[in-house]
Amino acid sequence: MTYDDLNPVRANMDPGLNRSKHVTVRKRHRAVLKQPEIANHLLVAMIGVNSLNMPLLTNADYLQLVDYSGRLIHPGKRGAIKETEA
């Protein structure tokens, strides 16, 4: 999921996750802003994935993971989330 959410940023198409129209993390972020209590809800395991091996992440954990990963500058990628993006 993180890989897909960061594709527009890494391709230098979008400066940040909140403005990207092509990823689900934008919807997740907006949902948490509207209903802060869902920030602590656990992510649901995908069908067909062995949930015993899946780490337990909340919506807030996932948003933090994507933000942190997107700010890392990788020499083989064109884009990263800018420091000025909230």
| Six-digit token string for 75 | 């020499």
DSSP H or E stretch at residue 9 = helix 2-10
Torsion, CA 45, CA 7, CA 68, CA 31, rounded to 10:
-60
pLDDT in tens, 27-83: 889 999 999 999 999 987 666 666 566 678 899 999 999 989 888 887 877 888 877
| Domain layout of the chain by residue ranges | 2-71
Q: How far is CA 58 from CA 10, 40, 46, 69, in A?
A: 24, 5, 14, 16
pLDDT in tens, 1-16: 788 888 888 888 877 7
